[in-house]
Structure 1
Amino acid sequence: MTTASGASPTRPPLGITALGAYAPARVISNADFEARLETNAEWIESRTGIRERRFAAEDEFTSDVGVGAVRDLLARDPDALSEVDAVICATVSPDALMPSTAALIAMQVGLTGVAAFDLSTACSGFVYGLSVAQGLILAGTARRVLVVGAEALSKVVDQDDRNTAILFGDGAGAAVVGPVPQGYGFQQFVLGADGAGGSSLYIRCAATKLPGGFEMAPGVGMNGREVFKFAVRVLGDSGNEVLAKTGLTSRDVDWVVPHQANIRIIEAANERFGVPMSRTVVNVDRYGNTSSATVPLALREALDDGRIQEGHQLLLVAFGGGLSWAAGTMRWWAGTPSLQPRAAAAAEVPA
């Protein structure tokens, strides 16, 4: 599925007009797993690229980390939520099945009465959310949309399961989608999903088995080998597809901002669409896999340290449970206060 740019002779293009991020204060290092799991810190880093991740506090949940990202956005630009009349929260660790986490976030940041709903495509959720936000605005349903990617995965992952416990962390990113000047903003999106791969990566809820009879274990289930193969293929293919739809090649890309699942996946996928690691934003070493929050966390960090600048051509690529995938191209605009680098502690995501 491909969705086109929002630009037209009578309508300005659409893009990100504000961006914030949040990571919980509690840092969990690889060494913290050694005492109770059959693993060691060096093995985890060599296999995944992860050195540490953040865990939410005992009384801190997905809506709380999402609100943290929105408050960071507002601290950078107090007027950032002006004209926002819809909220999308991409998450697979919602506070509850209902009410939506989006509604809980909206309430706490003063957006009472706006449209609000959750989006569940796992790690590709934030890029999905940007595309859906564009569609709402183009349809005339919304003027500006707040898209939040937020997760408290430490609450749902079995911390005694070595296959998954070492991978996931908590965090959030928040972006406002709205009009930007001509020549900037979203260009193309490519979205997709294949439910036949659902047994390779899932979080069990009401059902105990998937169509076809696959029995799901409680909590998070993952077939690491199958996910790796799928991720490398689909990241490369969707990245190449969205570049072709935009009329670009890998040489035109200033920065790739990928889903931060595993450094080996990122490296292998980059080879498929031909962008070197030197032009790829990576922070999986310090935050682990925060699912729908990885892309905005990485994007915010690269803005704060000055790597991403106005006019840069970006490629966003992600994959997730579903199995799902999403890729998008955009020309970066930096014309609002929240899109400027943070002067102090430039490389540090606010906690």
Structure 2
Amino acid sequence: MTKVLRSVVTGVGGYLPDEVVTNNDLAKIVDTSDEWIVERTGIHQRHRAAEGQLVSDLAVEAAKRALAAAGKTPADIDLIVVATTTPDLTFPATATIVQRKLGCPVGIAFDVQAVCSGFVYALSTADGFVARGRSKCALVIGAETMTRLMDWTDRGTCVLFGDGAGAVVLEPQEGEGTTADRGLLGFALRADGTKQDLLYVDGGVSTGKVGHLRMQGNQVFRHAVVNISEAIFAAATDAGIEIADVDWFIPHQANQRILEGVARRVGIEEGKVISTVAEHANTSAASIPLAWAKGVDEGLIKPGQVLLLEAMGGGLTWGACVLRL
């Protein structure tokens, strides 16, 4: 049988800023309550980056932990892909700043911007390098400081988001071309720019201001459950697996109700869902790798298991990935 090259995840790591902001803390500055937030979202708290702490700083800490888990050093890295919608600067890419701060050698480094879907998009992008033999050791990072995009008078959005970063190390490994192979097995990526007004930031270079996040929550919820479910089935088909083969479902941590709705729709039992939304809130592109790292740290996620990842974010963008550790 012809050998194929797979992109294998050899290490994962997550990092959360020290400051914890509870629902009761937010109730002091906006018309909300712990009960209101928990009932609608499942969120109890979130982390917030310190003043002067940049998204690249969060990314570097997560990357260090992923490298340690993989038994690698910054000198081994030849590709860095950072998924973020809150970069340090308009340019250069946050990935190049991470490269400098880690002390990696000259290589490939760039950002991917697909908002909450960014990590799944970045994994697929890095797979195009690693599985073609163009990268021997890649860092894929999701990192965000979403609290800096909040309108703190809008209780419908400011309670939803938090800051953090997660990272994985990808390395090439030969496989048999079957579903028993380790590595990234299947993807489904989607975007629909006609739905921009459902979730966006009302600022940018053209406006001369950073802007704030704006969202039509009910509409986003409706599209999320339907669209994500379709992408999950498509990714599973691409990977050649059945949903029943999935050991752990690691969804984007946007809202506990969305997590549960998607799991029910695709037939994944509650005990297979990794959920961190209660402690982390929505950390956008960082949410999947943060939840993944927590699952590993708690001894739940182990080598050989099949993982299903999914996310949806502004754009609208959405997608899913299936892999075997």
TM-score range, shorter chain: over 0.9
Give yes or no for contact 2:7–2:184 (8 Å, CA) kept in 1: yes
Query: What amino acid is aligned across from residue 23 of structure 2 in structure 1?
Result: N
Output the CA distance in 1 between the equivalents of 2:131 and 2:68: 28
The residue aligned with 1:102 is 95
| Backbone CA RMSD of aligned residues | 1.8
SS at match of 1:12: strand
Deviation by residue 1:41-86 (Cα, 9 ceiling, x = unmatched) = 1110110000000000011111111011112224445524453211
Counterpart-to-counterpart distance in 2, 1:149 and 1:41: 28
1:262 and 2:268 matched: no
Identity percentage over the alignment?
38
1:83 paired to 2:81: no
User: Does structure 1 retain, via aligned residues, the 8 Å contact 2:70–2:169?
Assistant: no
| Regions of 4+ moved over 6 Å | none
Distance 1:78 1:308, change over 3 A: closer
Q: Does 1:41 align with 2:41?
A: no
Q: Per-residue deviation at 1:163?
A: 1.4
CA distance in 2, matches of 1:154, 1:256: 26
**What is the count of residue pairs matched by the alignment?**
318
Q: C-alpha displacement at 1:114, in angstroms?
A: 1.7
Aligned to 1:69: 62
Q: Which residue number corresponds to residue 285 of structure 1?
A: 278
Mean Cα deviation higher: 106-115 or 79-88: 79-88
Q: Which stretches in structure 2 are left out of the alignment for 5+ residues?
A: 176-180
Aligned amino acid, residue 293 of structure 1: A
Give the superposition deviation at 1:9: 2.7
Q: Could you tell which deviates more after superposition, 177-186 or 146-155?
A: 177-186
The one-letter code sitting in structure 2 at the alignment partner of 1:283 is T
Q: 2: CA distance between counterparts of 1:28 and 1:257?
A: 24
For residues 221-257 of structure 1, give each alpha carbon's deviation from its aligned partner in whole angstroms, at most 9, with x where no partner exists: 1111111111111111111111122232221111100
Provide the C-alpha distance between the structure 2 equivalents of 1:80 and 1:289, rounded to a whole number of angstroms: 30
Normalised by the length of structure 2, the TM-score is 0.93
- The aligned residue for residue 322 of structure 1 is 315
Q: Greater CA deviation, 76-85 or 63-72? A: 76-85
Change (3 A) 1:61 1:159: farther
**Which residues of 2 match residues 191-270 of structure 1 at below 5 A?**
191-203=189-201, 204-207=203-206, 218-270=211-263
Unaligned runs of 5+ in 1: 1-7, 209-215, 333-351
Compute the displacement of 1:219 (Å). Answer: 1.4
Which of the residues 172, 178, 191 maps onto 2:165?
Answer: 172
